[in-house]
Structure 1
Amino acid sequence: MLMHQHGIGAWVAKRRLRSPDKVALVHGDQATMTYRQFADAADRVSVVLREWGVGKGDAVAYLGGNSPDFLAVMFGCAQVGAVFVPVNTRLAAPEIGYVVADCGARVLIHDPDFAGPVAAAGPAAGAPNVIVTGEGTSEWPGLARLARAAVGFTDPVDSTHQDAAVIVYTSGTTGRAKGAVLTHGNLTWVALNCVVDYDVVSTDVALMISPLFHVASLGMGALPVLLKGATLVLEKGFEPGRALAQIERHGVTMLSGVPTTYQLMADHPDWASTDLSTLAKLTCGGSAVPTRVLDAFEARGLSFSQGYGMTEAAPGATALPAAMTRAKQGSVGLPHFFTDVRITDPTGAAAPTGGVGEIEVAGPNVFPGYHGLPEATAEAFTADGWFRSGDLGYLDADGYLYISGRLKDMIISGGENIYPPELEHLLTAIDGVTSAAVIGVPDERWGEVPWAIVTVREGTSVDTDSVRAYLDGKVARYKLPKNVVIVADLPRTASGKVRKADLRARFGG
Structure 2
Amino acid sequence: MKPISYWVHKRAFITPDRIALIGEKESYTYKALSNKVNQMATLLQHHFHLQKGDRVAILSQNRVEYMITYFAIAQLGLVAVPLNVRLTAKELEFQIKDSGATIILYESRTAKLYDEVCNYVNFENAYYFDEPFEIVEQPLIEASVNTSEDPFIICYTSGTTGRPKGAVLTQDNMFWNALNNQYAIDITSNDNVIVLLPLFHIGGIGLFAFPALLAGGTVVVPSKFDPKQAIEMIEEYEVTIVMGVPTIHDAIRKHPLFESANFKTVRWFYSGGAPCPKELIEAYLDKGLPFGQGMGMTETSPTIFMLVQEDYKRKIGSIGKPVMFCDIAIVDDNGNPVPRGEIGELLIKGPHVMKEYWGLPEKTKEAIRDGWFYSGDLMRQDKEGFVYVAGRKKDMIISGGENIYPLEIEQVLKELTAINEAAVVGMQNEKWGEVPVAFVSLNIDIDITENEIINYCSTKLARYKIPKQITILEDLPKNATGKIDKKALLNLLTREGRI
TM-score range, shorter chain: 0.7 to 0.9
CA RMSD of aligned residues (A): 3.2
What is the 5 A alignment of 1:36-51?
A: 36-51=31-46
Extract unaligned runs of 5+ from structure 2. 397-405, 411-422, 427-433, 444-470, 477-482
Structure 1, 349-358 or 196-205: larger mean CA deviation: 349-358
Tell me if 1:329 matches 2:325.
Answer: no
Report the Cα distance in structure 1 between the residues aligned to 2:294 and 2:350, rounded to whole angstroms: 16
Q: Distance in 1 between matches of 2:472 and 2:97?
A: 32
Which position in structure 1 is the counterpart of 2:461? none
Q: Does 1:405 align with 2:391?
A: yes
Of 223, 226, 230, the match for 2:213:
226
Q: CA deviation at 1:481?
A: 4.7
- The letter for the 2-side match of 1:79 is Q
Percent sequence identity over aligned pairs: 34
Q: Which is worse superposed, 269-278 or 333-342?
A: 269-278
After the TM superposition, which of the residue ranges 296-305 and 41-50 deviates more from structure 2?
Answer: 296-305
Relative to structure 1, the CA distance from residue 278 to residue 488 in structure 2 (aligned partners, 3 Å threshold; closer, same or farther) is closer
Which residue pairs with 1:472 in the alignment?
Answer: none
Cα deviations by residue, 1:7-36 (Å, 9 ceiling, x for unpaired):
21322111111111100011115x210011
Q: For the Cα contact (< 8 Å) 1:285–1:307, is it kept in 2?
A: yes
SS of the residue corresponding to residue 329 of structure 2 reads strand
Matches within 5 A, 1:77-92: 77-92=73-88
Please, which of 287, 291, 296 is the counterpart of residue 300 of structure 1?
A: 287
* 1:75 matched to 2:71: yes
User: Matched residue of 1:127: which SS?
Assistant: coil
Partner of 1:159: 146
| Aligned partner (choices 52, 60, 73) of residue 56 of structure 1 | 52
What CA distance in whole angstroms lies between the structure 2 residues aligned with 1:488 and 1:110? 38
- Code of the residue aligned with 1:366 in structure 2: it is V
Pick aligned residue for 1:396 from 382, 395, 400: 382
The match for 2:304 is 317
- Number of aligned residues: 434
Provide the rounded CA distance (Å) in 2 between the counterparts of 1:351 and 1:477: 29
Closer, same or farther: CA 397–218 of 1 in aligned 2, 3 Å = same
| Cα-to-partner distance string for 1:423-468 (whole Å, 9 max, x where unaligned) | xxxxxxxxxxxxx9998735578xxxxxxxxxxxxxxxxx999xx9
Partner of 1:243: 230
Alignment of 1:483-498 (within 5 A): 484=492, 490=498
Q: How far apart, in 2, do the equivalents of 1:8 and 1:99 lie?
A: 25
Q: Deviations over 1:299-328 (max 9, x none)?
A: 221122211111100111111224323422
- Long gaps (5+) in structure 1: 136-143, 422-435, 446-462, 469-475, 491-497, 499-509
Are 2:344 and 2:380, in contact at CA under 8 Å, matched by a contact in 1?
A: yes
Q: Deviations over 1:57-114 (max 9, x none)?
A: 1111111111121011111111111011111111111112211111111211011221
Q: 1:488 to 1:115 in 2, by over 3 A?
A: closer
Query: What TM-score comes out, normalization by structure 1 length?
Result: 0.78
Distance in 2 (CA, whole Å) between partners of 1:145 and 1:7 is: 23
Q: 1:274 to 1:212 in 2, by over 3 A?
A: same
Q: Pick one of 266, 272, 276 that aligns with 1:279.
A: 266
Letter in 1 for 2:243: S
- Cα distance change, pair 25–174 in 1 and its aligned pair in 2 (3 A): same
Q: Which moved more, 1:117-126 or 1:225-234?
A: 117-126
Partner of 2:462: none
Say whether 1:119 aligns with 2:115.
yes
Given that 1:180 and 1:369 are in contact with CA atoms closer than 8 Å, whether structure 2 keeps it comes out as: yes
CA contact (8 A) 1:393 1:402 kept: yes
Contact 2:40 / 2:133 at 8 angstroms: preserved in 1?
Answer: no
The question of whether the paired residues in 1 share the 8 Å contact of 2:293 and 2:320 is answered with yes
The 8 Å contact of residues 108 and 131 in structure 1, kept in 2 or not, is answered as yes
SS at match of 1:272: helix
> 3-state SS of the aligned residue for 2:257?
coil
Query: Which residues of 2 match residues 366-385 of structure 1 at below 5 A?
Result: 366-382=353-369, 384-385=370-371
CA distance in 2, matches of 1:94, 1:438: 32
> Judging changes above 3 Å, is the alpha-carbon distance between structure 1 residues 104 and 483 closer, same or farther for their aligned structure 2 residues?
closer
Corresponding residue SS for 1:53: coil
Q: 1:289 to 1:488 in 2, by over 3 A?
A: closer
From the superposition, tell whether residues 395 and 50 of structure 1 become closer, same or farther in structure 2 (CA, over 3 Å): same
Deviation at 1:253, TM superposition (A): 0.7
Distance 2:236 2:288 in 1: 19
1:484: Cα distance to partner?
Answer: 4.1
